[in-house]
Amino acid sequence: MNNPQQDIRHTLESYFDRLWPICRSITGNGLRESLKILSEIAPMKLTEIPTGESVFDWIVPKEWNITDAYIITPDGRRVAEFKQNNLHVVNYSIPVDQEMTWDELRTHIHSIPEMPEAIPYITSYYKENWGFCVAHEELVTWPKEGVYRVVIDSQLEAGHLTYGEAVLPGSSDEEILFSTYLCHPSMANNELSGPLAAALIYQAVAAMPERKYTYRFLFAPETIGVIAFLSRYGEELKSKLRAGYVLTCCGDPGGFTYKRSKHRHSLADRAAEHVLSFQNTPHRVIEFAVGGSDERQYCSPGFNLPVGSLMRTPYQQFKEYHTSLDNKSFISFQSLQETVEVYTQIVRTLELNACYVNRIAHCEPQLGKRGLYPSSVDPLFNREETHRLLHFLSFADGENDLIYIASLRQESSLKYESIIRDCRNANLI
Amino acid sequence: MNNPQQDIRHTLESYFDRLWPICRSITGNGLRESLKILSEIAPMKLTEIPTGESVFDWIVPKEWNITDAYIITPDGRRVAEFKQNNLHVVNYSIPVDQEMTWDELRTHIHSIPEMPEAIPYITSYYKENWGFCVAHEELVTWPKEGVYRVVIDSQLEAGHLTYGEAVLPGSSDEEILFSTYLCHPSMANNELSGPLAAALIYQAVAAMPERKYTYRFLFAPETIGVIAFLSRYGEELKSKLRAGYVLTCCGDPGGFTYKRSKHRHSLADRAAEHVLSFQNTPHRVIEFAVGGSDERQYCSPGFNLPVGSLMRTPYQQFKEYHTSLDNKSFISFQSLQETVEVYTQIVRTLELNACYVNRIAHCEPQLGKRGLYPSSVDPLFNREETHRLLHFLSFADGENDLIYIASLRQESSLKYESIIRDCRNANLI
Amino acid sequence: MNNPQQDIRHTLESYFDRLWPICRSITGNGLRESLKILSEIAPMKLTEIPTGESVFDWIVPKEWNITDAYIITPDGRRVAEFKQNNLHVVNYSIPVDQEMTWDELRTHIHSIPEMPEAIPYITSYYKENWGFCVAHEELVTWPKEGVYRVVIDSQLEAGHLTYGEAVLPGSSDEEILFSTYLCHPSMANNELSGPLAAALIYQAVAAMPERKYTYRFLFAPETIGVIAFLSRYGEELKSKLRAGYVLTCCGDPGGFTYKRSKHRHSLADRAAEHVLSFQNTPHRVIEFAVGGSDERQYCSPGFNLPVGSLMRTPYQQFKEYHTSLDNKSFISFQSLQETVEVYTQIVRTLELNACYVNRIAHCEPQLGKRGLYPSSVDPLFNREETHRLLHFLSFADGENDLIYIASLRQESSLKYESIIRDCRNANLI
């Protein structure tokens, strides 16, 4: 039997498996390769910004690429191998090939004593440095005497920073933005869950028969990538953006967390909270705070865009965060697919939402003559639906939007799809 | 002993008994006769609108009158007699005089199996039809074989729709509206309680020595009657109306329910909620919703008037609603009289309410030199009243109205009547 | 060892002991003498307003001075001696020197039967009268027969009403006002606690290396003194005042009570409530009401200034109020010093508060290149402080003030002192 939900989960998993081993960073070929794979689902236009270009207060750094890295212990073991797990090398490490004692090496080695089986994830983008990350339980087996050989075969050179945009035009150029980051090496919830969700939302939006809004999906390295994007498109976005969401931590099995835009009651916030309030999965709403992801850039004072973030368990609130334990077994493809489904409901809500105007403004419309008011002795009589219709028309004054009108009855605005169609057909709106 | 409250209850009951047996509908002589009886208390000007006239989205229907109706069963019993209970015939039934089998008759018979002793109340105003309503416990005794004779001696012809207005002019032409409906046959809470309350409020307002506002009392058939009224007076009402109330379900022994205007904080809402908050009888406040009565017309987008509804138990929330059980034994004349009393307090509150301006705006007035500040060694010293006076003057800045000022001290604005008189006499306001 | 908190308590106590015995009133030499003593801490400019001058709705009364007062009972005892306790004479008593019976005397004697050991505090400023106040337990020993001799050696003559102002200029002429009253004879919480607190706040403000605001400390008789002050300076204050506080009841051991200005969310209210929310001592917030002290004048409709009042237990809520039991043993110098400390924090909060503007408005600033973002591998890394800095810059849009920004993180704005210094040094604001 063909089960569309299972199909979605299989798609998610197969792309996850292809993207997982790639060593991504904020620049470099791992990032480009990942964008190319996701382009199979969400065809993207790539932008390459050269090293040294100023983007607001920042400068695009050198491009980093890496081929291999490892340590040979004094007792001859090859450890901390990049090819075994790309977290083993501090991201953006400069090239190294030298021998040294344990005392020289130790300040370059990172582990987490409280989580002895986890390899930490460490970066040093803006300060030239090198290092290795290892599970603490392995580190304790390393000899303190003798000579270590340390190899990092990386390049840090003038190049480019890359980001990708997939755009689905609508009947207006008002935009809805989905922004996700692609810059962490092998990590699951705090990396691949976001781009995978974005790609599947792209598919769902592409399949819609018509679209009022233009949808932009941004796949960019966190922070510097979004700053670069905003340096090119930010002013246009300020005039066009109606709602946006940062996708991250979309795949763990926890409940939903919606983090509001700084504005607190933007359309992005209202649509997301409206949809969440009708889900069975528990959810909570938190206010904007700078700790987090790229909402920090979108909501900076110079932009203050209506961008929130619907997640499951937020960054730093799960212990696997930024370690090798944030892996495939930590996430659930069913959770990830449910997140995609909720985002899709948000899209449908945004598309349906409007400040409709009831043309029969004075007193209630005579529904009977339009065949919209079944007699109370009619077996087809649906009091609930008739009330909903009258409720909608009573509040459809051109100032209340549908989200507000539906919320007055504590029900999803998606329940008004057929009513709005009927009203259009009867020339009532 | 002369007890004015008992007098009011006796008045209510005697008018109830005269109005009860009349078969009212949205048009016809039963409606006219009822208006004439109520005119004894609240003298009305009647308006007759001809069949076929367009009133906004509606058309005034044919006028309906009925003389008799009954069914003769195959075993010779005369049942569902109109003269025994006017609910027995579907309101607005077309004339019928024919013989038929049970199978032909059955779709025209209405009963409530779950309430076997109740006759339901059914109408078919805008779709020509006929029918009978009977207690289910009676219906089950009717034979399924043989020939029934069915008689409805009614007329459905070009005529008029009638409504009545009683107006008490005030010193300004700003208006307070009391709107109630008169179109149901023998029903108590969901029919007669409203017009009876309106008539007695009229009496109370008429007895006031002076009035700031003009008071309009509308007695009209529900929906179409108010739509017709608004088609003639709606635009004027938009400029003149300060507060209005729909009177319905005023007589059952339940607590009070105040249903807000769509505006939510209109003067109508603020005055009603203020008065209710100082009653001993429990009350609750609900938001505007289209389910209900004529507030739906007043609050339609084209008018959006400040009209709420103070009821006891609302329509559809008591099981007797729209059945023969909504009768004299269901209501309480003491409850009805208490509803009249609360509405009268609302009137007094509206009359007293204003944005008074303290002429001594800078620092507190010296009350002592005006004889308004008894010394603390004076045996007549009333600290409470002095505080109330200073409180009033401190907030009387021309922007805060009395309802707001009194509410700050959690007390009824009617407690300020003597203070306002004193301040006027002392030229303080 | 030098303990500055103990020093403050010793200062408070020594001034308390000097001020306690003086018989103050709303005019007179006791008031002048008290102002002179407080001038040692907070140097004041005195204003003398002549008897008979109109101040808004009031007239400055005659000046009252008193030398002695007592009663000689028929059995030869000298009782109700002014020199023993200046509460014994009704404040503003006219001169008396006559003999009379108990029946003639009794209406001039005040006591509190429910508090037999307490001498009540009674005044008669605006109605010429005389009287004595005595402990009820003493009163019951007085004979009902025989001749009493009554002596009040007072003068009620044309003179002046006096108030004092101590001003500490700041870099702008926007003002912060501390207003306290000085008109009660020997009373502790409801008299001396206010001026003593004001004088010590003056000292703390004077010691600040720089001041943005100009600070005005008013020491005036309650009601008439503040009305006189406002009649001269009120209009200027309306344009200059940013926040003000009435100091009274600052010394009892109860928790804090903050009484809001009439505006409810003025800067005075926001600063006081913000500071209180981070104290260990319990506190509550109450709304403006006319019962109370001089906030009634400042918040009168013609001024409506941002003036609240931070107290401990408010007037009338402690049973010792307006009796001889409101004395040194009722208050605590530790409580009084803590009140001074909280007011000083309010001053620091007001000085630090501003709507700062982040110059790097678009996206987050690159903190690393300014040395403000320690690497995550840096042992000095303080995630909390870095988050606070980014939070501050994200919200510093020129519209949010620091109190708001700090409150978003539920922390004191005083925690941002070093961040703001760093941002200034880095030219970020």
Q: DSSP per residue over C142-169, as a string?
A: S-SSS-EEEEEEEEEES-EEEEEEEEE-
- Show residues of chain A in contact with B297, CB under 8 Å: 363-364
Residue with tokens 């409606």: B31
Pairing of the two strands B241-247 and B307-311: parallel
- Show residues of chain B in contact with A390, CB under 8 Å: 290-291, 296
Q: How far apart are CA A366 and CA A382, in angstroms?
A: 17
Option in B124, B126, B297 nearest A363 (CB) = B297
Above 80 in pLDDT, residue A206? Answer: yes
Option in B375, B390, B398 nearest C290 (CB) = B390
- Show residues of chain B in contact with C296, CB under 8 Å: 364, 390, 394
pLDDT digits (tens, 9 = 90+) for B6-58: 888 999 999 999 999 999 999 999 999 999 999 999 999 999 999 999 999 99
| Predicted ipTM > 0.85 | yes
pLDDT of residue A6: 86
Check C301 against B368: CB less than 8 A apart.
no
Above 90 in pLDDT, residue B309? Answer: yes
Percent of chain C with pLDDT over 90: 93
How close does chain B come to A346, measured CA to CA in Å? 26
Q: How far is CA A84 from CA A80, A91, A137, A402, B79, in A?
A: 8, 15, 16, 53, 92
Residue with tokens 């908050």: B277
- Could you tell me which residue, A29 or B384, shows the higher pLDDT? A29
pLDDT of residue A57: 96
pLDDT of residue C56: 97
pLDDT of residue C371: 84
How close does chain A come to B267, measured CA to CA in Å? 20
Kind plus residue range of the DSSP H or E element containing B262: none
Percent of chain C with pLDDT over 70: 98
- Show residues of chain A in contact with B112, CB under 8 Å: none
Check A394 against B291: CB less than 8 A apart.
no
Q: Is B341 exposed, middle or buried (0-12, 13-18, 19+ CB in 10 A)?
A: middle
Residue with tokens 């059945």: B323
When pLDDT is cut at 50, 70 and 90, the band that residue C6 belongs to is: confident
Check C289 against B396: CB less than 8 A apart.
no
pLDDT of residue C380: 54
When pLDDT is cut at 50, 70 and 90, the band that residue C379 belongs to is: low
Residue with tokens 């087996």: A141
- Show residues of chain C in contact with B423, CB under 8 Å: none
pLDDT digits (tens, 9 = 90+) for B72-127: 999 999 999 999 999 999 999 999 999 999 999 999 999 999 999 999 999 999 99
* Whole-number average pLDDT of chain A: 95
pLDDT of residue C200: 96
Above 80 in pLDDT, residue A380? Answer: no
In this structure, the number of other CB atoms found within 10 A of the CB of residue B22 comes to 18
Above 60 in pLDDT, residue A398? Answer: yes
Q: Which residue, among B357, B360, B362, B384, would best test binding to C if mutated, counting the most C CBs under 10 Å from its CB? A: B362
pLDDT of residue B7: 87
pLDDT of residue B371: 84
Check B290 against A375: CB less than 8 A apart.
no
pLDDT digits (tens, 9 = 90+) for C249-300: 999 999 999 999 999 999 999 999 999 999 999 999 999 999 899 999 999 9
When pLDDT is cut at 50, 70 and 90, the band that residue B380 belongs to is: low
* Encoded tokens for C10: 């010793």
Check A369 against B302: CB less than 8 A apart.
no
Q: Return the closest-CA partner of residue B251 out of B166, B137, B328.
A: B328
Pairing of the two strands B175-181 and B96-100: unpaired
Check A297 against C360: CB less than 8 A apart.
no
When pLDDT is cut at 50, 70 and 90, the band that residue A134 belongs to is: very high
Residue of B nearest to A373 (CA): B126
Percent of chain A with pLDDT over 90: 93
Residue of B nearest to C109 (CA): B377
Any chains having at least 3 CB pairs less than 8 A from chain B are A, C
- As a whole number, mean pLDDT of residues A328-334 equals 96
Q: What is the pTM assigned to this prediction?
A: 0.92
Q: Which residue, among B359, B360, B363, B377, would best test binding to C if mutated, counting the most C CBs under 10 Å from its CB? A: B363
Residue of C nearest to A59 (CA): C366
Residue C19 half-sphere exposure toward CB, CA atoms < 13 A? 32
Check B300 against A394: CB less than 8 A apart.
yes
Size of interface A-C (CB pairs under 8 A): 70
Check B289 against A391: CB less than 8 A apart.
yes
pLDDT of residue C316: 85
When pLDDT is cut at 50, 70 and 90, the band that residue C182 belongs to is: very high
Q: How far apart are CA B234 and CA B236, in angstroms?
A: 5
* Encoded tokens for A218: 């941004």
Chain C residues contacting B via beta carbons under 8 Å: 55-59, 110, 122, 124, 126-127, 129, 131, 223, 226-227, 230-231, 234, 262, 287, 289-291, 296-297, 299-304
Option in B59, B110, B297 nearest A364 (CB) = B297
Q: How far apart are CA B322 and CA A377, in angstroms?
A: 14
Above 60 in pLDDT, residue B1? Answer: no
When pLDDT is cut at 50, 70 and 90, the band that residue C314 belongs to is: very high
Option in B110, B126, B131 nearest A368 (CB) = B126
Option in B56, B127, B290 nearest A375 (CB) = B127
Angle between helices A333-352 and A4-19 (to 10 degrees): 110
Check B376 against C122: CB less than 8 A apart.
yes
Q: Which residue, among A300, A315, A321, A323, would best test binding to C if mutated, counting the most C CBs under 10 Å from its CB? A: A300
Chain B residues contacting A via beta carbons under 8 Å: 55-59, 110, 122, 124, 126-127, 129, 131, 223, 226-227, 230-231, 234, 262, 287, 289-291, 296-297, 299-304
Option in B56, B129, B291 nearest A362 (CB) = B56
- As a whole number, mean pLDDT of residues B233-258 equals 97
How close does chain A come to B412, measured CA to CA in Å? 31
Above 80 in pLDDT, residue C178? Answer: yes
* Encoded tokens for A131: 């290092």
Option in A361, A376, A394 nearest B296 (CB) = A394
pLDDT digits (tens, 9 = 90+) for A233-285: 999 999 999 999 999 999 999 999 999 999 999 999 999 999 999 999 999 99
How close does chain B come to A402, measured CA to CA in Å? 15
pLDDT digits (tens, 9 = 90+) for C109-159: 999 999 999 999 999 999 999 999 999 999 999 999 999 999 999 999 999
Q: How far is CA A416 from CA A188, A250, A403, in A?
A: 37, 28, 10
pLDDT of residue B6: 86
Check C127 against B368: CB less than 8 A apart.
yes
